[in-house]
Amino acid sequence: MKLEELSGIELGREVNSGNITPTEVIDYFADRIEKRNPSINAFTYTKIEEAKVEAKKLEERIAKKEDVGPFAGVPVGLKDFLPSKKGWTNSHGGVKSLIMEDPEDSAFYAAAREAGAIAIGKTNAPAFAFRGTCDNKLYGPTSTPFKVGYNSGGSSGGSAAAVADGMLPMAEGSDGGGSIRIPSSWCSCFGFKASVGTIPSVCRPDGWTATHPYCFNGAITRTVSDSAMMLNYMAKYNPRDPLSLDHGKKDFTELMKKPIADWKIAFTTDFDVFTVDKEVAQIVESAALKLKLAGACVDYVHFNFKHSQEEYANLWCRSICIDTAIDMELWKKDGFDLIKDHREELPEEFIYWNELALKSTIMDYRYFNDLRTEILDAQQDVFDKYDIIIAPVTICPPVKNANDFNTKGPECVNGVKVEQLIGFCETFFENFTGNPAASVPAGFTKDGLPVGMQIIGKKFRDEDVFAVAYAFEQIAPWSYEKAYNRKID
């Protein structure tokens, strides 16, 4: 049995039925990680022996006929960015001087553990998750397994690469500007970012830390069903999150199956803002039109945005650094000056935007909210007439990994200058507004590089995104054969 070809639900079913033990599962994937990880650099570290201890405990529960959950014995990866599992360590995305113990479990890991999964290691991410690529000065770049040497996308790039290469069925992502969707696109995975409030985000001492822009915890999987099942466990009301919603007992694995016949889908390649690689645009357009086979109506639409791609991208760069700049000021009070004493560990771009965030004025923040409102209104104008918006995830295919541990997006696309940290991604609008969105594999370029299609839903209509994604998965199921079977040295 080739376990890497099974979805998380399928693997959990094999464990629950007694066809394979959790320990055998961990041994299988540990061997696969050891052989395959060095070439793509998806994991920063593994905890195999600890995972085996958890597997033995799970076997005892299964022997007692306990219900251990649909992901029984399924190995998962956790993002090496912020706390994921109490007692483990995180590096804030490959920042050596910031390696510290995880004080708590993330929403993803708490849900995965409840569903029977076992954490097996931490996956790579850029410093402070501040870019749409995956590279850092401590661990280096991560490759998409579909073409080693080309970037996996970020910031949850290690997670997406590990899932795509069959090193595990699913892994943790976090999304503050597209960090679940971008690597899912460049690694041909399914990545879902929930509506604001669907998955609780409990931040302290500032309960509103993850709101400018909205930041989300979530899963990267190979199938829509696995992601829907994870959301069943993650979508919980928590009164300590000021934006948390009570979704009741929604079963997203059932809601995803509702027909989308007669749904009105708005399609854009560029939001009338971005410049898009012609091959990427053609691949996503072809994928979107396939939804007509499910009975949906697909129309080309225009958006009333008033500023440029560069202005919006710069807005994201400044706003996402609000909290990191605050953190660094607080660390200074404790005698730890990250930029002064450890500048060599950080990308210069991150330092630039953090220093700019510290210099921002009250009117700068008003400008941020004005443009954020403009994005909300321009998008809502379309949602007033349509159920779903579809667009590319990124404006280009995966870029080559740099040799300086500072891989960025392209400088230009179609001869047009592009902001290199997030400006090549059509994802960050949804972090400003809080709408649910997903990346589904749309196809490959002639050079064999993955392309993702973004599905955006109305706010608090997470199930609609799943319904469209599931319908597309039935029409155009994606294959992982190239990644599963890639040759390794």
The predicted-structure confidence for 1-12, as pLDDT tens digits, reads as follows 799 999 999 999
| pLDDT, averaged across the chain | 97
Please report the pLDDT score of residue 36 as a whole number. Answer: 98
Question: What does the pLDDT average to over 188-210?
Answer: 94
Question: What does the pLDDT average to over 217-235?
Answer: 98
Question: What does the pLDDT average to over 284-301?
Answer: 98
Residue 345 above 90 pLDDT? yes
Please report the pLDDT score of residue 296 as a whole number. Answer: 98
Rounded CA gap, 463 and 297, in Å?
18
394 with 344: CB under 8 angstroms? no
Question: What does the pLDDT average to over 230-235?
Answer: 97
Please report the pLDDT score of residue 69 as a whole number. Answer: 98
CATH superfamily of 3-308+368-484: Amidase signature (AS) domain (3.90.1300.10)
Confidence of residue 489 (pLDDT cuts 50, 70, 90): confident
Confidence of residue 248 (pLDDT cuts 50, 70, 90): confident
446 with 423: CB under 8 angstroms? no
Closest C-alpha among 216, 121, 223 to residue 164: 223
Residue 249 above 90 pLDDT? no
410 with 420: CB under 8 angstroms? yes
62 with 15: CB under 8 angstroms? yes
Decide: helix, strand or coil at residue 433.
helix
Residue 38 above 80 pLDDT? yes
Residue 82 above 90 pLDDT? no
Please report the pLDDT score of residue 485 as a whole number. Answer: 87
Question: What does the pLDDT average to over 417-425?
Answer: 98
Q: What percent of the chain has pLDDT over 70?
A: 100
Please report the pLDDT score of residue 221 as a whole number. Answer: 98
Closest C-alpha among 13, 5, 45, 27 to residue 164: 5
Q: CA of 314: how far to CAs of 134, 317, 450, in Å?
A: 19, 5, 27
312 with 429: CB under 8 angstroms? yes
Confidence of residue 479 (pLDDT cuts 50, 70, 90): confident
> Facing residues of 439 across strands?
191, 454
Question: What does the pLDDT average to over 245-257?
Answer: 93
Please report the pLDDT score of residue 214 as a whole number. Answer: 95
Residue 188 above 80 pLDDT? yes
Helices then strands, counting H and E runs in the chain, come out as 16, 15
Decide: helix, strand or coil at residue 467.
helix
What's the half-sphere exposure (Cβ side, CA atoms, 13 Å) at 423? 23
More reliable by pLDDT, 121 or 249: 121
Confidence of residue 247 (pLDDT cuts 50, 70, 90): confident
Closest C-alpha among 249, 252, 247, 307 to residue 274: 307
Question: What does the pLDDT average to over 284-288?
Answer: 98
Rounded CA gap, 69 and 117, in Å?
8
Please report the pLDDT score of residue 484 as a whole number. Answer: 87
Please report the pLDDT score of residue 94 as a whole number. Answer: 98
Residues in the chain: 489
Rounded CA gap, 211 and 365, in Å?
13
Please report the pLDDT score of residue 1 as a whole number. Answer: 79
Instruction: Kindly report, residue by residue over 169-186, the tens digit of the pLDDT.
Output: 999 999 999 999 999 999
What's the half-sphere exposure (Cβ side, CA atoms, 13 Å) at 327? 14
Rounded CA gap, 438 and 221, in Å?
11
- Three-state SS letters, 79-131: ECCCCCCCCCEECCCCCHHHCEECCCCCHHHHHHHHCCCEEEEEECCCHHHCC
Residue 129 above 90 pLDDT? yes
> Facing residues of 121 across strands?
46, 77
Residue 481 above 90 pLDDT? no
Please report the pLDDT score of residue 65 as a whole number. Answer: 95
Rounded CA gap, 200 and 452, in Å?
27
Per domain, the residue ranges of the chain are 3-308+368-484
| Lowest-confidence region among 85-94, 106-115, 155-164, 357-366 | 357-366
Token pair belonging to 266? 């708005």
Question: What does the pLDDT average to over 361-386?
Answer: 96
Question: For residue 293, what is the DSSP state?
Answer: G
72 with 61: CB under 8 angstroms? no
Residue 446 above 90 pLDDT? yes
Closest C-alpha among 300, 316, 308 to residue 273: 308
Question: What does the pLDDT average to over 219-225?
Answer: 98
